[in-house]
Structure 1
Amino acid sequence: MSSTEDLIKEIEDEIQNTKYNKATSHHIGRLKAKLAKIKDEAVTRAMASAGGGEGYSVKKSGDGTVVLVGFPSVGKSTLLNKLTGAESEEGHYAFTTLTVVPGAMEHKGANIQILDIPGLIAGAAMGKGRGKEVIAVVRGADLILLLGDVYNEKHIDVLISELYDAGIRINREKPDITIKKSSNGGIRFNTVGYTGLDLEEIRAILAENKIVNADVLVRGKVTQDDFIDAMMGNRVYIPAFFAINKVDLVDEETRQHIVKDVTKRFGRPPIMLSAHSGYNVETLKDEIYDHLGFIRIYLKPVGGKPDMDEPLIIRKPATVESVCNKLHRDFVEKFRYSKVWGNSVKHDAQRVGLNHVLEDNDILTIVTRA
């Protein structure tokens, strides 16, 4: 092991062997902050060591971007081809995909970009395999599909661990924490509601990052890990769900056992599919659409009829401003007001501003200055 790996293991062992209580919470918080800093520095070095390789700079397109994350040879390339018709090379050996292969999936009026990336392996966050390039692509996605197969579904735990070490938080809301450094005054800790942390814990965690003067505001209950993530400032929060491939290769009893096991470990059942035969691929498309949180907005020109055939697809939370930005930036600069028909307003043709939050199937008219 390298010295960094030794130090990480030593701190992890100390955290695990220290019983958590009020007396030890400050010490544990400081250990966790130290561990996060060491891991973050190791990941940063790994990412910078060789830069991105050819094929790893992918421009986002469409209404949303989904990245397929899995171990080598779980069938990501086959699945991409089935979903999009893209030509990602398939093979029954590891690391068939050596670059990022994009494809476009049309579903329910949405144009969804699907990215097939090289398989992750244990240690990817620290740069092993093609980890440094792959992680950078994952961090920019709108949705992660964690893909296992019937022979290695337990590897999903490793995938989640690698993403976590790389600062990717799946299926978690970003905690409402503000940390503003100051030049003096020590740590001023303000809360809205019960936070679950006390001032001494906050001081201990911040001290590990050499922050001794700051204004801290926490809204709602948070954990030490949440606070450390806010202190680090480079975490991304991305929704994710699970799918298990190659179910056509095992019997029904084995399938049910896998569903129960994955559901027990992650709190939600996986999509059981066969990319090769197409089994449940349409269900997977629906899941992708739903997880991206799309809504349909029908545009109505001033004095005209709404276009009910081609809705504008946009992700929640969708405001009038986000619709304007998607259409053209001039709509925001020249905006006067808009009118809405639908569930988001109290009455039809209600006048609203840029901050109004729209709902699925709303009809929208945007009025601008000449």
Structure 2
Amino acid sequence: MPTNLPAEALSKWEEVQKARTPEERLRKLQEFYALVPKHKGTEKLLKQVRRKIARLREEVVSKRERRRSTGFFVEKSGDVQIVLFGFTNSGRSTVLNKLTGRKVKISPSPFTTVNKPETGVFTWNGVSVQVVEAPPVIENLEDTLTSRALALVRNADSVAITLDASSNPVSQLLKLGDILRKGGISLKRPKVYVSVEPNPSRNGNIIRIRGKLRGCTLKDVERALAELGIRNKIVTIHGEADLNSIEEYVTMMLKYKPPIIIMTKLDTLTHEEADSILEKIRGVVRDTLVIDMRRDLNSVKSEITEYLMQKLELIRVYTWGRYEKQPANRPIVVKKGSTVLEIAGRVHSSLHENFRYALVWRRGDLGRRPVKVGKGYVVEDLDIIRIVGT
């Protein structure tokens, strides 16, 4: 260990050495990494630490997977998963019931949702959104309920911060944002952002570049991901990224989750008070969807779905079987930049393995002749696809 590190970093390294569990060691190692100055002299050290973080994370994730059957975990159902995150009595159960038609018990007593997360699903324009009600948040990261709520957010696609408009919502928002940041969740999209998702085809890593690679090649990225133990994933790199920034984002705990702000109990205020609060909240969180739960339910569902599709860069693709009279009613929801071969893998592994070509109808062109395309063809929103195998 270099001795010319800042005292705070050296002190944190001692905490790493004293850590008793893999989870604690991982957290302390990530904190140590954040304290190490980033320059030429520390490149080797930082790379070693990133490798250690990757190995520890694999150990922790493997351990967590074994506990899932009895643990506090919600398997993703639908195309997008959002988590309702807020203090007790912030209206999370009311929002869940209204959006999904569930009839979860609503109580004025605090801490009603503590034993297990409540879930529900709503569908809009073919997109299925799973809503998860997290346990209430306590202003203490070490609290079990807060830890569980943060774990649910980390596993989700988006966090829906639920605010009680009748009880200083700006203060609630700032406190919840701080808790999320300390829990390793970023509400602001960083300059370099890497998303890692399962590859349904399980045929290795698929790497997509949504920006530019700086000082490295695609082969370098493939090699680095393999060294970090990332396999059979779809890895999307956003921004102008070098190898260090890619490795850092993948290995560090900080994860970007597009936020939604949901305002409850506005109906307990006067119109003037409610409008004033909404204006203040929108001033704090620019470029973020703020939902007024007094509004028409269909408008709320539409806004949430379209916002998530945009922020998560998702599109809808309809399949049309050779012997079917018309395209499927429900689309397959995939990331922008997906190819017809990836769609084939989503439909069935045999279609992926035996792919010959695909016929594609663009939006509005259903009456025209389809375009015959190969496996690398990139699909667009509302495309209709017929996959032909051997």
TM range (shorter): 0.5 to 0.7
- Per the TM alignment, residue 348 of structure 1 is displaced from its structure 2 partner at its CA by 5.3
Match of 1:73 in 2: 89
- Per the TM alignment, residue 161 of structure 1 is displaced from its structure 2 partner at its CA by 1.9
Q: Which secondary structure does the structure 2 equivalent of 1:130 belong to?
A: helix
Alpha-carbon distance in 2 for matches of 1:324, 1:31: 41
Match of 1:137 in 2: 152
Which residue, 178, 202, 210 being the options, matches 1:161?
Answer: 178
Question: Does residue 33 of the first structure (1) align with residue 35 of the second (2)?
Answer: yes
Q: 1:192 to 1:363 in 2, by over 3 A?
A: closer
Moved over 4 A (4+): 51-55, 191-194, 218-223, 226-229
- Counterpart code for 2:149: V
User: Where does 1:254-269 land on structure 2 (aligned, <5 Å)?
Assistant: 254-268=273-287
Alpha-carbon distance in 1 for matches of 2:158, 2:295: 22
- Counterpart code for 1:315: V
Which residue, 81, 84, 88 being the options, matches 2:104?
Answer: 88
- Per the TM alignment, residue 267 of structure 1 is displaced from its structure 2 partner at its CA by 0.8
Match of 1:118 in 2: 135
Match of 1:356 in 2: 377
**Contact kept? 2:289, 2:307, Cα under 8 Å:** no
**Contact kept? 1:102, 1:113, Cα under 8 Å:** yes
Match of 1:109 in 2: 126
Match of 1:148 in 2: 163
Alpha-carbon distance in 1 for matches of 2:356, 2:247: 43
Alpha-carbon distance in 2 for matches of 1:297, 1:96: 40
Match of 1:292 in 2: 308
Instruction: Give a deviation string over 1:61-101, Cα, whole Å, max 9, x none.
Output: 11221111111111001111111122322111321101211
Match of 1:181 in 2: none
Match of 1:321 in 2: 341
- Per the TM alignment, residue 219 of structure 1 is displaced from its structure 2 partner at its CA by 9.1
Match of 1:207 in 2: none
Alpha-carbon distance in 1 for matches of 2:75, 2:251: 27
**Contact kept? 2:360, 2:385, Cα under 8 Å:** yes
Instruction: Give a deviation string over 1:155-197, Cα, whole Å, max 9, x none.
Output: 12222222222222234157168xxxxxxxxxxxxx9669xxx
Question: Does residue 273 of the first structure (1) align with residue 289 of the second (2)?
Answer: no
Alpha-carbon distance in 1 for matches of 2:176, 2:122: 24
- Counterpart code for 1:159: L
Q: Which secondary structure does the structure 2 equivalent of 1:292 belong to?
A: helix
- Per the TM alignment, residue 269 of structure 1 is displaced from its structure 2 partner at its CA by 6.0
Alpha-carbon distance in 2 for matches of 1:106, 1:56: 25
Alpha-carbon distance in 1 for matches of 2:182, 2:360: 44
Match of 2:4 in 1: none
Q: 1:323 to 1:193 in 2, by over 3 A?
A: closer
Match of 1:246 in 2: 265
Alpha-carbon distance in 2 for matches of 1:343, 1:269: 29
Q: 1:295 to 1:228 in 2, by over 3 A?
A: closer
Alpha-carbon distance in 2 for matches of 1:331, 1:273: 44
Question: Does residue 307 of the first structure (1) align with residue 309 of the second (2)?
Answer: no
- Counterpart code for 1:288: I
- Per the TM alignment, residue 257 of structure 1 is displaced from its structure 2 partner at its CA by 1.6
- Per the TM alignment, residue 132 of structure 1 is displaced from its structure 2 partner at its CA by 2.1
**Contact kept? 2:135, 2:148, Cα under 8 Å:** no
Match of 2:362 in 1: 342
**Contact kept? 1:66, 1:144, Cα under 8 Å:** yes
Match of 1:332 in 2: 352
Q: Which secondary structure does the structure 2 equivalent of 1:102 belong to?
A: strand
Q: 1:74 to 1:342 in 2, by over 3 A?
A: same
- Counterpart code for 1:94: P
Alpha-carbon distance in 2 for matches of 1:360, 1:240: 23
**Contact kept? 2:317, 2:381, Cα under 8 Å:** yes
Q: 1:253 to 1:269 in 2, by over 3 A?
A: farther
Q: 1:104 to 1:55 in 2, by over 3 A?
A: farther
Alpha-carbon distance in 2 for matches of 1:161, 1:100: 22
Instruction: Give a deviation string over 1:16-59, Cα, whole Å, max 9, x none.
Output: xxxxxxxxxxxxxx995359x9xx9xxx9xx99xx889562221
Q: Percent identity?
A: 26
User: Where does 1:208-223 land on structure 2 (aligned, <5 Å)?
Assistant: none
Q: Once structures 1 and 2 are overlaid, which stretch shifts more, 354-363 or 94-103?
A: 354-363
**Contact kept? 2:191, 2:239, Cα under 8 Å:** no
Alpha-carbon distance in 2 for matches of 1:336, 1:253: 62
Structure-1-length-normalised TM-score = 0.66
Q: RMSD value over aligned CA atoms? A: 4.0
Give the gaps of 5 or more residues in structure 2.
1-7, 13-31, 38-48, 195-211, 216-236
Q: Which secondary structure does the structure 2 equivalent of 1:258 belong to?
A: helix
**Contact kept? 2:315, 2:380, Cα under 8 Å:** yes
Q: Which secondary structure does the structure 1 equivalent of 2:123 belong to?
A: strand
